[in-house]
Structure 1
Amino acid sequence: MNEKFFIAQIGRTVGLWGDLKFHLHTDFPEQFQVGHTYQSNRGELTISDINFKRGIVRFQGYESIDAAKKLTNTKLYADEAQTKELCNLEEGQHFWFDVIGCTVKQGDEVLGVVEDIQRLADVDYLSVKTDETLVGSGLAKNFLIPYIDRYVIDTDVAKKIVHTRDAKDILEAS
């Protein structure tokens, strides 16, 4: 599986030398460096200059305003391997693609499986597909768990398990 992840979008041109506004859609801005190449909906693009303070980027082969205009609204993507290579996780952090697919447990009870992760305001929420046995007992088919210490005890991506507390209360209230 070579899934691509949307990590940035290019905006309008700035100035005369091919600079473009740069809108990040990632928690890892350090991955964007001069010489790095990314997939886009317009082919591969290699960064020739980047200025995080001004929020602008320039790409090789697009160093004029006319050439750069062709990249307005282009989306940049990275695959799993590139993400793991260029992004540095801190202790206890996980990539979303490693958490998606994990079984959600409270104690020994399986509550469901993480289908997606959504960011609302500044909090990430696990979007959980409820286990069929719980759905059969009248509970909701899907529910959201805030990915915060209050509810998530531990995430073991190697075993594909998210251990929770009080998550069943959220499910029962859904």
Structure 2
Amino acid sequence: MSNQSKKPLLHIATLGKTVGIKGDMKLHIKSDFPEQFRSGASFLINKKERVTLRDVNLERGLVKINDISNPEDAKRYTNAKLFTTYEETRKNCHLDEGEYFFFDLEDCDVYEDGKLLGRVKEVERINISNYLSIVTDASLVAKGLPKSFLVPFHEPFKVAVDIDAKRIELRGAMDILEAS
């Protein structure tokens, strides 16, 4: 196994069925950054083999991979998952001020008014909003509060984020925890 496949990987797209007679395939994007899917971009599939995209048409959701030019050869990649590393994501995807990669928010401690509420397990997207899925701190669970809860990750709940310190300050999160 290569060193590349031992790094944490992100599932960012899945190749779908073949379309037409020239080896085109549907591309089902699972990322907020479609700009990373361009001709010449290379991704791991199924966590071990690399493929290179060519003839990318995001408007139609179609790609060709490697040097494949017929549906018979392309079919062997149907349902293959495309992966990238955290480092490649940081290099290839632009964030605006106040935006964060979901993987950077995971494992951050969550505070309100200096009190530890818990730790972010994951970020969930429900409809068009992002929510922090928080595992409640054991001291609060011991007081009868729920083991986990969700908090919207936007104003007015989001107060401050320090990715380097793995710390998120929220407002109103304790009320949500108590009402959960």
- TM-score category, normalised to shorter length: over 0.9
Aligned residue number for residue 3 of structure 2: none
Normalising by the residue count of structure 2, what TM-score does the alignment of the two structures yield? 0.93
Find out whether 1:16 has 2:21 as its counterpart: yes
| 1:150 is the counterpart of 2:156 | yes
Separation of aligned partners in 1, 2:87 and 2:23: 29
What RMSD, in angstroms, separates the aligned Cα atoms of the two structures?
1.1
- Tell me which residue corresponds to 1:37: 42
Aligned-pair identity (%): 39
Q: How many residues align?
A: 174
Matched, 1:6 2:11: yes
Aligned match for 1:79, one of 85, 110, 117: 85
Could you report, residue by residue, the CA deviation over 1:30-65 in whole angstroms, capped at 9, with x for unpaired residues?
011111110011721101110011110111132211
Q: CA deviation at 1:150?
A: 2.2
Q: How many Å separate the matches in 2 of 1:2 and 1:90?
A: 26
Q: Which of the residues 96, 99, 117 maps onto 1:93?
A: 99
Q: Who is 1:25 aligned against?
A: 30
What is the CA–CA distance in structure 2 between the aligned matches of 1:117 and 1:140, rounded to whole Å? 18
1:92, 1:74 → 2: CA distance? 33
Corresponding letter in the other structure for 1:39: L
Partner Cα distance (1:97, 1:115) in 2:
10
Counterparts of 1:78 and 1:32, CA distance in 2: 11
Moved over 3 A (4+): none
Instruction: Give TM-score, length-normalised by structure 1.
Output: 0.96
Matched, 1:107 2:120: no
- Determine which of 139, 142, 147 is the counterpart of 2:145: 139
* SS of residue in 2 equivalent to 1:44: strand
The CA distance in 2 between the partners of 1:128 and 1:60, in whole Å, is 41
Tell me the CA shift for residue 70 of structure 1: 1.1
